[in-house]
């Protein structure tokens, strides 16, 4: 982490937008070892804490900047077969909410984005594994999307894309996103039934 920060700082360009997107995920049950839980916390939570600790203060001094944590739908709906991941993503949302309290009187915002099931490189790996077992791609995707419930806006035929999720980050990082601060912004195509 120190080497990465040193490389960025050597460029001499202020960091205006920090997206804490490093993460690991997968099926880790409650019974998993402390070491596995610690790995999820170190990668998913502390990496963002360390970067934010370094870059938030200069943003506050300049009175401008954006900090975004790449969280997950499981922060709001924890699942027992992904509990370590769920807890780490909930921690990110909590950190963002707390740090937003430091931004009063500035145009700095700190938010998290709760990302729903997305057609990503990880999904492509799952699809390849399913195909090797004789499952058709479209059937595998349909199995996932139908499990998302009736509020999933994209229907049964497709999942949200990486680019569509990126658009949410771009909005929050923009001037237009100024009024969103301390939010756990949903990017789930309506998977979570919520009003607030």
Q: Would you please indicate which residues are annotated as catalytic (active-site) residues? A: 85
| Alpha carbon distances (Å) from 133 to 5, 27, 38, 92, 130 | 43, 19, 33, 36, 5
Closest CA to 99 of 183, 38, 4, 22: 183
Query: Which residue(s) pair with 108 in the sheet?
Result: 65
Query: Cα(45)–Cα(84) distance, rounded to whole angstroms?
Result: 11
**What is the rounded CA–CA span in Å between residue 134 and residue 173?**
42
Which tokens go with 87?
A: 């807890």
Largest Cα–Cα distance of the chain, in whole Å? 58
Strand 107-115 and strand 160-161: the pairing is unpaired
Residue 35 parent element (H or E): helix 34-41
- Inter-residue contact 105 to 62 (CB < 8 Å): no
- In the chain the first and final C-alpha atoms are separated, in Å, by 36
Cα–Cα distance between 23 and 56 in angstroms, integer? 20
């Amino acid at each position: 982490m120190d080497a990465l920060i040193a490389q960025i700082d050597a460029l001499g360009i202020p960091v205006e937008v920090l997206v804490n997107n490093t993460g690991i995920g997968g099926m880790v049950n409650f019974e998993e070892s402390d070491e596995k839980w610690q790995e999820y916390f170190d990668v998913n939570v502390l990496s963002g804490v360390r970067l934010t600790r370094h870059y938030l203060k200069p943003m506050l001094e300049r009175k401008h900047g954006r900090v975004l944590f790449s969280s997950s739908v499981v922060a709001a709906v924890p699942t027992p077969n992904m509990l370590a991941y769920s807890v780490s993503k909930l921690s990110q949302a909590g950190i963002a909410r707390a740090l937003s309290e430091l931004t009063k009187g500035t145009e700095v915002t700190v938010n998290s984005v709760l990302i729903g099931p997305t057609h990503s490189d990880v999904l492509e790996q799952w699809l390849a594994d399913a195909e090797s077992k004789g499952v058709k791609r479209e059937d595998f995707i349909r199995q996932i999307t139908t499990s998302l419930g009736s509020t999933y806006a994209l229907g049964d035929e497709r999942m949200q894309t990486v680019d569509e999720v990126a658009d949410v980050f771009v909005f929050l990082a923009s001037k237009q996103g100024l009024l969103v601060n301390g939010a756990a912004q949903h990017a789930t195509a309506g998977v979570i039934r919520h009003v607030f």
